[in-house]
């Protein structure tokens, strides 16, 4: 059996590495990442469907976890969502606040969200969970479930694969080298983990890789049932 203290230390070291890498590449990343309005039609449609679901529910604000420079948070706000952003990287949050001073952005981790139980109407994880080792996903999904109000909505979008682990040592643009670990799981495994965390999946998309990309993209629209109990 794994020692819980050792497991917590390993998770902390992993989060520190992610934070340091994104602090290093933050400025290049902000230039590199597309504005949501320039995304492909399916991605825009999924974001719009999520926005309509959370605004119709009227249950509370939406957390954009792993918000980066805040472009998607701002896009959701433009669709009428009361959204705020959370990111592990202080440098990313600095850029988000500078670009969108009217919005709320906080440094934080999706592994331990500061929102109270049932406080949120929506949680968005848009290409922000793939750096987590698969062993950490169940607890993260349970954390999403915890902060959502009964009837609240989750949108998770990520690249998928066949139990793949990729490590690269460069970031974005011509900035300093920064290591990144990425994990690609099968879509059905992610769906199963979400269901075990207590979510009901309401829609699922699977997009073929864009030109130059190597992995398809899966989107999961899910809901915390109105009569949900803690998983």
Give domain status of residue 230, yes or no: no
The b-or-e profile of 40-67 (16+ CB within 10 A means b, else e) is eeebeebbebbbebbbebebbebbbbbb
Confidence check: pLDDT of 121 > 50: yes
Residue 231 lies in a domain: no
Residue 121 lies in a domain: yes
If one compares 230 and 130, the residue with the highest pLDDT of the two is 130
Q: Quick one: pLDDT band at residue 175, thresholds 50, 70, 90?
A: low
How many domains does one find in the chain?
Answer: 1
Q: Considering the domain boundaries, does residue 29 fall inside one?
A: yes
Give the CATH number of the domain where residue 140 resides: 3.40.50.150
Is residue 229, in this structure, part of any structural domain at all? Answer: no
Q: Is residue 155 part of a domain?
A: yes
Q: Which residue has the higher pLDDT, 218 or 213?
A: 218
Does the residue 56 lie in any domain? Answer: yes
In order, the DSSP letters of 18-41 are HHHHHHHHHHHHHHHSPPGGGS-H
* Residue 228 falls inside a structural domain: no
pLDDT confidence tier of residue 211, bands split at 50, 70 and 90: low
Q: What is the pLDDT of residue 7?
A: 40
Q: What is the mean pLDDT of residues 221-231?
A: 78
The contacts of residue 186 (CB under 8 Å, 6+ apart) are: 160, 161, 162, 163
171/27 Cα distance (integer angstroms): 11
Q: Higher confidence at residue 6 or residue 35?
A: 35
User: Which domain does 21 fall in, by range?
Assistant: 4-181+189-223
Which of these ranges, 157-161, 177-181, 182-186, has the smallest mean pLDDT? 177-181
What is the predicted pLDDT for the residue at 6? 33
């Amino acid at each position: 059996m794994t020692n819980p203290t050792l497991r917590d230390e390993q998770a902390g070291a992993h989060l520190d590495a992610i934070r340091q890498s994104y602090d290093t590449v933050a400025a290049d990343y902000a230039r590199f990442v597309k504005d949501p309005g320039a995304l492909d039609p399916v991605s825009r449609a999924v974001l719009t469907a999520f926005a309509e679901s959370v605004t119709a529910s009227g249950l509370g604000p939406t957390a954009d976890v792993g918000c980066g420079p805040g472009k998607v948070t701002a896009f959701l706000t433009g669709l009428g969502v009361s959204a705020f952003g959370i990111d592990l990287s202080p440098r990313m949050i600095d850029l988000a606040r500078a670009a969108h001073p009217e919005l709320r952005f906080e440094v934080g981790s999706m592994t331990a969200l500061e929102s109270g139980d049932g406080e949120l109407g929506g949680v968005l994880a848009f290409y922000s969970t793939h750096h987590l080792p698969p062993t950490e996903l169940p607890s993260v999904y349970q954390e999403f479930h915890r902060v959502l109000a009964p009837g609240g909505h989750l949108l998770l979008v990520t690249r998928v694969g066949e139990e793949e682990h990729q490590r690269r040592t460069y970031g974005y643009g011509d900035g300093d080298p920064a290591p990144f670990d990425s994990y690609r799981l099968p879509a059905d495994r992610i769906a199963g983990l979400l269901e075990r965390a207590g979510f009901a999946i309401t829609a699922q998309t699977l997009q073929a890789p864009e030109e130059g990309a190597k992995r398809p993209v899966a989107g999961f629209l899910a809901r915390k049932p109105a009569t949900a109990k803690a998983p």
